[in-house]
């Protein structure tokens, strides 16, 4: 039988390997049959289930047939290598053992003679125990030995001789506190690589579950070569075309995003340190942004992804009566857009107090054509979530703008046809998130605005009509 010709097939054909991959599929069938046989055999002891007795041997027979294929395919799978040899040895031979024992079960139940009674029960109990052990070893081979008890209570883990659970690293909230390896590189390995490159599975002889193992590498040499991204096999594999044979991750698992790949490349070319703060390596602006996005620290995204409470109906009601056009900005959140520019009513001090009650929800505010004053802007400056603010065609001046410098999300500010002067530029510099500002028909001078544009190349400043 092929099962016993271990070591015979050194270069298995693709078809053999294909059958091997079916092992996880066929392996579960015998488990069902065998447990059914065991249960039926015990149950038939009771007079009520006595009629089951003649069928027990047939169930064992089904068990034999299915176990044979499970063992055969399992052997084929083992030919592809890549498994922890110790665990594989025990899994393989216990699988063969189970097959032999259930053959024993079959014969002892088939004869139905009293002389076989003891051996029948002995075989049955051995089968029930060994199938559990074999299955557990198989699970360890596929998922890694830490898989089963990863989330088990610490008492259970300690019983199994495992240490307490490792506390997950706290979510990074400031880029400065991010560790380059533990918070950036390792999470990518965890989410993408280690399901195949762990202590149990080690595809290609490679383990990516620790820094030391990454340096050690696998069959194709070191996975990473500090300072030499082009010589690092890991980077080579993840940057191949997705349909390339050697592309990683294989088997259609989620590839790393361009952002992640770029971060890994940056890390390797900066000497691949195993610890240390990300920002201590002086990343350039582009890399900082990559890391911010990867860690979910991007300001804008954060605001939009924050779920806010519904606004008070009464506030909305009153503001609508006061001439505000009120729109929800998206239907899965309560963010609002308020527009007073179409109203013929004038803005009252009380309206601003109502606006403050929408502090959380209010992202876009249009106060164009209104009678808002510099002092009233103090209240607007407290509307912390504002992203767009339109103050065009109003009488506000630099003095009012001073109240707005704390708006930490503001991206678009329209000051067209207002009284602002060159004094506005130092104030605009304080708005770190600002992307666009409109300044046509104001008292600014061209020389100053051009200087300001030079200092803020990423800010779009519209100040004239060409």
Partner 1 sequence: MSKYHNFMQRSLSRREMLDICKGGFGSLAFMSLFGGLPLLGCERPKNNAASNLYLGPHYLPKAKNVIFLYMDGGVSQVDSFDPKPRLAKENGEDPRKKFKVDATQFDNVGKILKSPWEFTQYGNSGIPISELFPHIATCADDLAVIRSMTSNFPEHTNANYFLHTGSGIQGRPSMGSWMTYGLGSENKNIPGYVVLDGGLVPPGGLDNFKNGFLPASYQASIFKSGPEPVANIVPKEDGANLQEQKLDFIKQMDQSLISKMGEEDAVESAISNYELAYKMQTSIPELTEFKSESEATKKLYGLDSDDPHKKGYASQCLLARRLVERGVRFVELTCPNISGFDRWDQHSNLKNGHERNAHAVDQPIAGLLKDLKSRGLLEETLVVWTGEFGRTPFAQGANGRDHNPSAFSMWMAGAGIKGGTIFGKTDEYGYRVVENPVTIHDLHATIMHLLGINHEQLTFRFGGRDMRLTDVHGHIIKDVLA
Smallest separation, CB 455 to partner 1 (Å): 20
Q: Which stretch binds partner 1 (CB under 8 A): 166-174, 268-276, 349-357, 434-442?
A: 434-442
Smallest separation, CB 358 to partner 1 (Å): 12
Out of 245, 331, 447, 454, point to the residue binding partner 1 (CB under 8 A): 331
Smallest separation, CB 84 to partner 1 (Å): 45
Out of 304, 322, 379, 395, point to the residue binding partner 1 (CB under 8 A): 304
Out of 75, 181, 425, 438, point to the residue binding partner 1 (CB under 8 A): 438
Between the alpha carbon of residue 205 and those of residues 13, 63, 155, 199, 201, the distances in Å are 21, 35, 33, 10, 8
DSSP labels for 336-379? EEEE-TT-SSPP-HHHHHHHHTTTTTEEEEE-TTS---TTTHHH
448 lines the binding site for partner 1 (CB under 8 A):
no
Which residues fall within 8 angstroms of residue 259, CB to CB, at 6 or more apart?
290, 293, 294
289 lines the binding site for partner 1 (CB under 8 A):
no
The H or E element spanning position 438 is strand 436-438
Alpha helices in 112-194 (DSSP H): 117-143, 154-159, 186-188
Contact 138, 192 (CB under 8 A): no
Out of 2, 65, 100, 342, point to the residue binding partner 1 (CB under 8 A): 342
Tokens of 36: 């059914």
Long-range contacts of 209-213 (CB under 8 A, 24+ apart): 211/181, 211/274
CA angle 43, 46, 52 (to 5 degrees): 55
b/e map of 264-291 (b: 16 or more CB within 10 Å)? bbbbbebebbbeeebeeeebeeebeebb
440 lines the binding site for partner 1 (CB under 8 A):
yes
Which residue, 99 or 377, is less far from partner 1 as judged by CB? 377
317 lines the binding site for partner 1 (CB under 8 A):
yes
Q: Which stretch binds partner 1 (CB under 8 A): 29-37, 272-280, 336-344, 399-407?
A: 336-344
Out of 3, 182, 325, 459, point to the residue binding partner 1 (CB under 8 A): 325
Out of 51, 161, 252, 313, point to the residue binding partner 1 (CB under 8 A): 313
465 lines the binding site for partner 1 (CB under 8 A):
yes
Out of 436, 445, 450, 451, point to the residue binding partner 1 (CB under 8 A): 436
What letter would DSSP give residue 309? P
b/e map of 143-166 (b: 16 or more CB within 10 Å)? ebbeeeeeeeeeeebeeeeeeeee
Which residue, 225 or 362, is less far from partner 1 as judged by CB? 362
143 lines the binding site for partner 1 (CB under 8 A):
no
Strand locations in 251-348, DSSP E?
A: 325-328, 336-339
464 lines the binding site for partner 1 (CB under 8 A):
yes
308 lines the binding site for partner 1 (CB under 8 A):
no
311 lines the binding site for partner 1 (CB under 8 A):
yes
What 3-state DSSP class applies to 326? strand
Out of 34, 172, 180, 316, point to the residue binding partner 1 (CB under 8 A): 316
Out of 156, 230, 320, 353, point to the residue binding partner 1 (CB under 8 A): 320
Which residue, 416 or 452, is less far from partner 1 as judged by CB? 416
Smallest separation, CB 412 to partner 1 (Å): 6
Which residue, 111 or 327, is less far from partner 1 as judged by CB? 327
CA dist., res. 216 & res. 209, Å (int):
11
Between the alpha carbon of residue 31 and those of residues 66, 135, 199, 419, 428, the distances in Å are 9, 9, 26, 82, 71
Which residue, 146 or 339, is less far from partner 1 as judged by CB? 339
Out of 326, 356, 382, 427, point to the residue binding partner 1 (CB under 8 A): 326
Which residue, 125 or 342, is less far from partner 1 as judged by CB? 342
Restricted to residues 103-132, the positions that interact with partner 1 (CB under 8 A) are none
Tokens of 313: 């109906």
**Angle, to 10 degrees, between the axis of helix 117-143 and the axis of helix 28-43?**
150
Total residues at interface with partner 1 (CB under 8 A): 36
Q: Return the C-alpha torsion angle 212, 215, 218, 219, nearest 10.
A: -150
Contact 23, 135 (CB under 8 A): no
The contact mask relative to partner 1 for 386-425 (x = CB under 8 A, - = no) is --x-x-x-------------------x-x-xx--------
- State CA 179 to chain mean position distance: 18
Q: Which stretch binds partner 1 (CB under 8 A): 56-64, 85-93, 127-135, 325-333?
A: 325-333
Smallest separation, CB 304 to partner 1 (Å): 7
Contact residues for partner 1 (CB under 8 A)? Answer: 304, 310-317, 320, 325-332, 335, 339, 341-342, 388, 390, 392, 412, 414, 416-417, 436, 438, 440, 462, 464-466
């Amino acid at each position: 039988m092929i099962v016993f010709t271990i070591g015979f097939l050194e270069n298995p054909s693709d078809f053999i390997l294909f059958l091997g991959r079916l092992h996880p599929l066929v392996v579960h069938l015998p488990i069902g049959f065998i447990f059914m046989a065991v249960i039926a055999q015990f149950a038939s002891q009771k007079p009520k289930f006595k009629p089951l007795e003649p069928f027990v041997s047939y169930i064992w027979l089904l068990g034999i047939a299915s176990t044979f294929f499970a063992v055969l395919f399992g052997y084929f799978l083992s030919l592809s290598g890549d498994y922890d040899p110790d665990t594989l040895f025990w899994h393989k031979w216990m699988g063969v053992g189970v097959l032999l024992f259930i053959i024993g079960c079959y014969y002892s139940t088939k004869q139905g003679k009293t002389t076989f009674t003891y051996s029948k029960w002995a075989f049955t109990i051995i089968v029930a125990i060994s199938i559990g052990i074999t299955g557990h070893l198989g699970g360890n081979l596929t998922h890694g030995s830490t898989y089963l008890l990863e989330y088990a209570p610490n008492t259970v883990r300690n019983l199994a001789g495992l240490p307490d659970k490792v506390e997950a690293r706290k979510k990074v909230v400031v880029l400065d506190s991010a560790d380059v390896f533990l918070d950036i590189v390792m999470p990518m390995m965890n989410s993408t690589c280690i399901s195949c490159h762990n202590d149990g599975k080690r595809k290609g002889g490679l383990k990516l579950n620790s820094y030391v193992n990454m340096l050690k590498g696998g069959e194709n040499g070191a996975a990473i070569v500090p300072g030499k991204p082009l010589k690092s096999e890991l980077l080579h594999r993840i940057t191949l075309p997705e349909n390339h044979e050697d592309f990683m991750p294989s088997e259609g698992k989620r590839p790393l995003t361009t952002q992640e790949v770029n971060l890994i490349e940056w890390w390797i070319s900066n000497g691949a340190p195993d610890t240390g703060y990300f920002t201590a390596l002086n990343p350039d602006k582009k890399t900082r942004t990559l890391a911010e996005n990867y860690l979910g620290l991007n300001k804008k995204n954060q605001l939009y992804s924050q779920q806010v409470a519904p606004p008070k109906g009464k506030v909305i009601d009153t503001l609508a009566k006061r001439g505000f056009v009120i729109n929800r900005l998206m239907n899965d959140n309560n963010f609002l857009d308020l527009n007073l520019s179409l109203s013929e009513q004038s803005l009252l001090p009380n309206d601003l107090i109502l606006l403050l009650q929408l502090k959380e929800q209010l992202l876009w505010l249009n106060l164009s054509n209104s009678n808002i004053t510099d002092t009233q802007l103090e209240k607007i400056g407290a509307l912390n979530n504002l992203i767009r603010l339109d103050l065009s065609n109003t009488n506000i001046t630099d003095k009012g703008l001073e109240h707005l410098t704390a708006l930490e999300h503001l991206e678009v500010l329209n000051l067209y046809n207002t009284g602002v002067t060159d004094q506005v530029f130092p104030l605009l510099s304080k708005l770190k998130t600002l992307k666009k500002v409109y300044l046509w028909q104001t008292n600014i001078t061209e020389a100053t605005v051009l200087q300001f544009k030079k200092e803020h190349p990423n800010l779009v400043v519209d100040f004239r009509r060409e």
